[in-house]
Structure 1
Amino acid sequence: MAGRTGLTRATVSSLVEELLDAGLLAELAAERGGPGRPANPLQLNRAGPAGLGLEIEVDHVAACVVDLTGEVRAVRRVASDHRDDDPRRALARAAELGLSVAAESGLAVAGAAVAVPGVVGADGVVVRAPNLPRWSGAHLGPELSPLLGGLPVTTANEADLAALAELWFADGPPDALYVSGGIGVGAGIVLGGQLFRGAGGRAGELGHVVVDPDGPPCRCGGRGCLEQVAGQEALLRAAGADDLDALPPHVLDGAARALGVALAGAVNLLDVPVVVLGGIYARFGPAFGDDVHARLVERVVHRSDVAVRPSALGAGGALRAAAASVVRERLRAP
């Protein structure tokens, strides 16, 4: 470490002692048999401070704990409808689940982050959540922290976190558009290896891009928004089904067409080379991705090709990234 950093051995030893005392590093047994005094290998302490991730969606809550290496040590998801809920009821459910998962992990949790399906301002306040109408203006961190024993709590948009999960855990490209399909439709934008949130954290509201001006009314107050054509409830309604696995080809084709229209506009604007399909879109399989790709080929004007691929992490990406954001911050400022 001294050789790689240019610091003296004494300085490195002092810094390492501090990190060992803080529980951030673990010292392994030295390898024997080489010339000179053997050096002790170091690694991040898998028993050290952990991060708690919480996800509050329209129809479920979830929690997970990751250790300092980013590995998931415990995770759980339960159904819970929040469409007309006061935020405090959902937060109580999430906190109860989070405490249970933290206890299951056996690790000491250093903080928590919560993923929500809405626009989150820089101050952590939910600015707008069309599918959770009673959540606008809610400051979740101060409400949730006492329920978690005083842990510091941050709040972020679930699609933004899912996009970061692809970058952090799946070797995702430095420039990409991640689409999160569910009851709502959101997008996370990664440019130059960094999340792009926009001036007020409002970037990525793909679900409210209009794809049919004469289409059905949306909870946001507009008409013909993407989520009213290609969102989970819209697709089930169009198919007369209650199971996404039972969607017929013509319904999936309509979803791919609408998604392609919205994505083409975003790609033309942002010039990203990769679109990652997450949430329900990832489970629709390769044929759906190929159909979306074909729509982009028709409409994107400045790129010879745009890769369309399913999320490598599935539905758990936002939750894992929420937990990982806690330990990444701990490692950044130990």
Structure 2
Amino acid sequence: MTSSLPVIRTVSLLGSGLIGGGWAALSLAHGLDVVVWDPAEDAAARLHSLIERAWPSLQMLGLAQGADRSRVRFVGSAAEAVAIGDFVQESGPERLEIKRALLREVIPSLREGVVLASSTSAFTVTELLSEGPRCERFVIGHPFNPPYLVPLVEVAGADFTDPAAIEAAFAFYKRLARVPVTMVREAPGFIANHLQAALFREALHLVNEGIATPEQIDACLVHGLAPRWSAIGPFMVMHLAYARSGIAGYFPSFDLGSERLLAHLPPPIRNASLEAAMSEGCERLMAGRSRSAVEAQRDRTLAAVLRAQRETIVDPSGK
């Protein structure tokens, strides 16, 4: 990126589903203009509905000067959206061929100095650009649902990615009050999805072997691990558990203490009994509530947790 970076006033979004729509709500809440391309006929209605649903939680966290839900408009083509944006976020369907085709179409329209990021949850930069033009300003900017609340954004590039593009994406996400994490090297699935998948595999084994129900597992996470993990992660939990030696004290007993807990690495074999138990358990967790009601409760709780984190947690990176 030899030219100076543009001042970011307008964010262009390719796709406006749950993820793209979440980026839209977040960008509007931070006083930015939003340009959207989405080929779905009902895209505008769905997007405005999502923004309305997200806005109370965003207000709870504090809106930036100039925040306005009306500062969003749709354009007729992906290339037009890309040509307008000071930062571009792609959030199309998680299908490799669709993303590759979209990137081939829009990269020629990317203005000089503008960063193009993908919300993909699995594909690497190298995979996404393997059949099209190599773009040094294309990066991964993987959020977590809902993007307008969950702060983490995983940022990654390839060997050919301009370091300035990574830095620019990092700075932009920080501006949106996100917590960006850059990877040491690119890998499919990034970081958090590997951790999430490992925990979910273990949960499936517990249900499959009749040890616990979905309700019991969710309760253990929501009321046990999650509150602690909202303050410190698993490495710091273990480090603090060994008061004299820190985490170094854990390793002499690693095999004895962890062997049984690490027994379930592959997922269980898919079977009808497991599928029924999971479906029935999740219906019981819904307790007759609508999806929108559960999402609203989730958002209120997340916003309260995030406010508490802002008041108590210091970023060890100092960034």
TM-score (norm 1): 0.32
More helix by share: 2
TM-score (norm 2): 0.33
